[in-house]
């Protein structure tokens, strides 16, 4: 049975106790917010458990929240009381931000039934629905070790090869704010140059949702956001030409996943997230960086 990509808070409220609800909140270090502490003290949707992308990650990498191995993923997701067949509903406290990273991780590891909660915790509380505080009450389950879909993830060497190939037909879309993309503003991570990859397009992830309500814009508004960057969503959706994939990037692979979700909702296939994103790309000396004058 398929599940909707996007679930409203009223739909989740009517199903509470059925789907496994997870809080996938994450914030930039400069925000000074502790999402785990907020989950316990500020509250969460009843029955939710916290999906920590700072813990469910490749702990051998110096890069932030890189994809873990399949066996590590299975172990940690099982500890959250999730099985392979569960319908998982993901939300965050901003509305449409880091929840998309959790969504993408589950989808990349082949989890079939995943939905995003439209508006997240912000919309849930605005509707006056109940909130729970304290630790999550979780009974671990067995999560069978999955297989990572290599079509949904891209690595540095692959991306560098693409940007060096001037004849490639691949679309790279960057979710960072425009000033960081152009090079006008610095990166928040010390020592990293701002700018962008040759040929990349810029669709700042903040243009995908209403920041007041946290809710994702409708399909027409989403398509318009991509159109402003010179990206024709209908063309991407309808193309059958080989090699026309779309690679999503951002600062560290979080908001790139928001682009992934938005484009998937618009019916675009052949989507992949550059896991290391700009943090990895800009830190490598062989990378080509463009700054708009």
The rounded mean pLDDT for the chain is 96
Q: What is the pLDDT, as a whole number, of residue 240?
A: 76
Domain identity same for 130 and 156: no
Domain assignment of residue 270, given as a range: 151-281
The mean per-residue pLDDT over the stretch 95-99 comes to 94
Q: What is the pLDDT, as a whole number, of residue 293?
A: 59
- Given the residues 123, 192, 246, 250, the one annotated as active site: 250
Burial string for 219-245 (b: 16+ CB within 10 Å, else e) reads: eeebbebbeebebebeebeeeeeeeeb
Domain identity same for 215 and 135: no
List, edge to edge, every strand of the sheet that includes 6-7. 6-7, 114-117, 88-91, 20-23, 49-50
Q: What is the pLDDT, as a whole number, of residue 217?
A: 98
Domain identity same for 131 and 175: no
Give per-residue pLDDT as tens, 185-218. 999 998 999 999 999 999 999 999 999 999 999 9
**Domain boundary pick from 111, 129, 148:** 148
CA within 13 Å, CB half, 182: 9
CA distance 119 to 104: 17
Question: The CATH number of the domain where 17 resides is what?
Answer: 3.40.250.10
- Label residue 115 by pLDDT band (50, 70, 90): very high
Q: What is the pLDDT, as a whole number, of residue 166?
A: 83
Is 138 part of the annotated catalytic residue set?
Answer: no
pLDDT of residue 241 exceeding 90 = no
Q: What does the block give as tokens for 170?
A: 């691949």
CA distance 202 to 229: 6
Task: For Cα atoms 259, 260, 264, give the angle at the middle one, nearest 5 degrees.
Answer: 115
Q: Which residues contact 187 (CB under 8 A, 6 or more apart)?
A: 180, 193, 194, 251, 278, 282
Specify the residue for token string 């907020």: 38
Q: Is 67 helix (H, G, I), strand (E, B) or coil?
A: coil
Specify the residue for token string 């991780």: 105
pLDDT of residue 148 exceeding 80 = yes
Q: What is the pLDDT, as a whole number, of residue 282?
A: 98
Q: What does the block give as tokens for 232?
A: 């024709």
* Residue from 91, 102, 100 nearest 127 by CA: 91
Q: What is the DSSP letter of 215?
A: P
Specify the residue for token string 């109940």: 130
CA distance 197 to 159: 9
* Residue from 6, 24, 88 nearest 265 by CA: 6
Residue ranges of E strands in 43-200? 49-50, 88-91, 114-117, 153-154, 171-174
The mean per-residue pLDDT over the stretch 87-115 comes to 97
CA distance 88 to 77: 11
Looking at the domain assignment, is residue 200 inside a domain? yes
Domain identity same for 194 and 98: no
Looking at the domain assignment, is residue 22 inside a domain? yes
Domain identity same for 87 and 180: no
The mean per-residue pLDDT over the stretch 108-128 comes to 98
Q: Number of folded domains in the chain?
A: 2
Domain identity same for 143 and 155: no
CA distance 121 to 106: 20
- Label residue 264 by pLDDT band (50, 70, 90): very high
CA distance 52 to 213: 23
Task: For Cα atoms 77, 109, 70, give the angle at the middle one, nearest 5 degrees.
Answer: 65
């Amino acid at each position: 049975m398929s599940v909707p990509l996007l679930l409203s808070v009223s739909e989740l409220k009517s199903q509470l106790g059925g789907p496994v609800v997870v809080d996938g909140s994450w914030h930039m270090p400069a925000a000074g917010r502790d999402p785990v502490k907020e989950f316990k003290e500020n509250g969460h949707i009843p029955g939710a458990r916290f999906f920590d992308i700072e813990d469910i990650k490749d702990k051998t990498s110096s890069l932030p929240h890189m994809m873990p191995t399949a066996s590590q993923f299975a172990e940690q997701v099982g500890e959250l009381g999730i099985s392979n067949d569960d319908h998982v509903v993901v939300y965050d406290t901003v509305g449409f931000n880091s929840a998309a990273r959790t969504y993408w991780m589950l989808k990349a590891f082949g989890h079939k039934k995943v939905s995003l909660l439209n508006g997240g915790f912000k919309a849930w509380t605005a509707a006056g629905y109940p909130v729970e505080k304290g630790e999550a009450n979780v009974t671990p389950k067995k999560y069978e070790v999955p297989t990572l879909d290599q079509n949904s993830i891209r690595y540095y060497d692959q991306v560098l090869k693409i940007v060096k190939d001037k004849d490639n037909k691949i679309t790279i879309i960057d979710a960072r704010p425009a000033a960081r993309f152009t090079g006008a503003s610095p990166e928040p991570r010390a020592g990293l140059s701002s700018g962008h990859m040759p040929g990349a397009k810029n669709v700042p992830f903040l243009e995908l949702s209403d920041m007041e309500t946290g809710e994702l814009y409708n399909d027409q508004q989403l398509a318009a956001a991509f159109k402003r960057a010179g990206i024709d969503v209908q063309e991407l959706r309808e193309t059958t030409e080989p090699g026309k994939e779309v690679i999503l990037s951002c600062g560290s692979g979080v908001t790139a996943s928001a682009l992934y979700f938005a484009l998937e909702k618009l019916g675009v296939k052949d989507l992949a997230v550059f896991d290391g994103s700009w943090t990895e790309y800009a830190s490598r000396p062989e990378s080509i960086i463009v700054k708009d004058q």
